[in-house]
Amino acid sequence: MRDFRWPPPPDGGPRTYGPGPSAPRTGRPTIPEPATELVTTPHGVRLERLVTGAGDPTTVFAHGLGGGISTTRPLGSAVSGTRAFFHFRGHGRSDAPSGPWSYADLARDLRAMADLGQADRAVGVSLGAGALCRLLVESPERFDRVVFFLPAVLDKPRPALARERLSDLLDAVEGGDAAAVADTVSYEIPAALRNTPAGWAYLRQRVDQLSRDGLAPALASLPDQVAVRTAAALREVTAHALVLGCVGDPLHPAEVAEQLAAALPRATLHLYDRPGVLWTHRADVRERISGFLNA
């Protein structure tokens, strides 16, 4: 049973149980998101993009499954130069061409965004980390520096829990039930923080975005696929790499981060000691990423 109610309280929470007003309350509106643009890629798929910062170097940010621009922007807040955020196919306002899709398709999206922005650095989160791995297998010298945050898949499919969570999220979004979407998204927040102002603000933002833009059903096949045929294929990568993993996260096993770091010739690995890293160690994550990319 969830430990929150929907819609969120107008003061940002927490809302307590028991007697009291029961009329629907929508809560404060979320902060408007910055204006994005739709960019036509060489492979014919229009992708939603947000470019911030200015000058060299340029870093491209690739989000996780069901995530988006808003979930990757905090990772780049202290990164110097130009920062290019985008939505993979099937997310946000990006196109959703006929499926099924593979990590090769995601790598094509990522490559297009990197090439259009002349990015020489890349950050991949979960699904985005898998797409980055696939791109690097195809083009080992494409980037100078790369960051893999919570990698979820290499040469073995994701665990059953990932398929279940994605299926639940797709069903909730398709059904247009904000409370059901909030139920599913709430697992992204540590249990102790779900009924706090920060937890409610995050939920509200994610539910608003998913309810507005939706998710493509073709995403459902991705958890059953692998990013690369074998991790050994990454041996030729020339980029300096930072791999950030986490112990105890069933969706992003520490073993995947360890395997990835071992496969990359010039990698540094750091494992956090508990899940919910962006909630419990946000400042440290940003410092590690910016320190590595700005070096």
Residues 107, 138 contacting (CB under 8 angstroms): yes
State yes or no: pLDDT of 135 exceeds 60. Answer: yes
Residues 30, 205 contacting (CB under 8 angstroms): yes
pLDDT band at 25 (very low <50, low <70, confident <90, very high): very low
C-alpha–C-alpha distance, residues 182 and 211, integer Å: 10
How much of the chain is helix, strand and coil, in % rounded to 5?
40, 15, 45
Q: Which helix (H) or strand (E) segment is 122 a member of?
A: strand 121-125
Residues 30, 208 contacting (CB under 8 angstroms): yes
Per-residue confidence (pLDDT) for residue 27, from 0 to 100:
44
**Other CB atoms closer than 10 Å to residue 28's CB: what's the count?**
14
State yes or no: pLDDT of 172 exceeds 50. Answer: yes
State yes or no: pLDDT of 1 exceeds 50. Answer: no
- Closest by CA to 122, choosing from 234, 222, 231, 240, is 240
Per-residue confidence (pLDDT) for residue 18, from 0 to 100:
40
**What predicted TM-score, i.e. pTM, was given to this entire model?**
0.90
